[in-house]
Amino acid sequence: MSKTTSCQRNALQALTMTDSREPAAIPPDHPSEPSADSKRGVRAEMRAALAAMSDDERRDASSAATAKLIALDEFRAASTVMLYMPLAGEVDTTHVAIRVFQLGKTVCVPKVDWARRDMYAIEVNSLDDHYMETDDHGIRIPRAGRPIVPRSIDLVVVPGLAFDTYGRRLGRGGGFYDRFLSRLRRSATTVGLAFDRQVVDEVPVQEHDVSVDAIVTERRATYTRRSRSTH
Q: Could you give the CA distance from residue 170 to residue 158 in angstroms, rounded to a whole number?
A: 11
| pLDDT of res. 34 | 57
| pLDDT of res. 186 | 93
Q: CB-based contacts of 138: which residues, under 8 Å, 6+ apart?
A: 87, 88
| pLDDT of res. 53 | 96
| pLDDT of res. 2 | 43
Helix or strand holding residue 158 (H, E): strand 155-158
Q: Could you give the CA distance from residue 112 to residue 114 in angstroms, rounded to a whole number?
A: 6
On whether residue 140 sits in a domain, the answer given is yes
- CATH number at 96 reads 3.40.50.10420
The reply to whether the predicted model has a pTM over 0.85 is no
Range of the domain at 167: 34-230
Q: Could you give the CA distance from residue 75 to residue 2 in angstroms, rounded to a whole number?
A: 38
Domain tally, the chain: 1
On whether residue 190 sits in a domain, the answer given is yes
Task: Note down pLDDT in tens along the chain; length 231 residues.
Answer: 444 444 444 444 434 333 334 444 444 444 445 567 788 889 999 999 999 999 999 999 999 999 999 999 999 999 999 999 999 899 999 999 999 999 999 999 999 988 898 999 999 999 999 999 999 888 999 999 999 999 999 999 999 999 999 999 998 878 899 999 999 999 999 999 999 999 999 998 887 889 999 999 999 999 985 554 444
On whether residue 15 sits in a domain, the answer given is no
| pLDDT of res. 150 | 97
Q: Which of 104, 192, 196, 208 is nearest to 155 (CA)?
A: 192
On whether residue 147 sits in a domain, the answer given is yes
| pLDDT of res. 77 | 98
Residue 86, CA distances (Å) to 65, 104, 134, 189 in order: 14, 22, 11, 20
On whether residue 3 sits in a domain, the answer given is no
| pLDDT of res. 37 | 78
Q: Could you give the CA distance from residue 144 to residue 132 in angstroms, rounded to a whole number?
A: 8
DSSP string, 190-203: EEEE--GGGB-S--
On whether residue 80 sits in a domain, the answer given is yes
On whether residue 24 sits in a domain, the answer given is no
DSSP string, 80-130: EEE-PPPPTTSPP-HHHHHHHHHTT-EEEEEEEETTTTEEEEEEES--STT
On whether residue 5 sits in a domain, the answer given is no
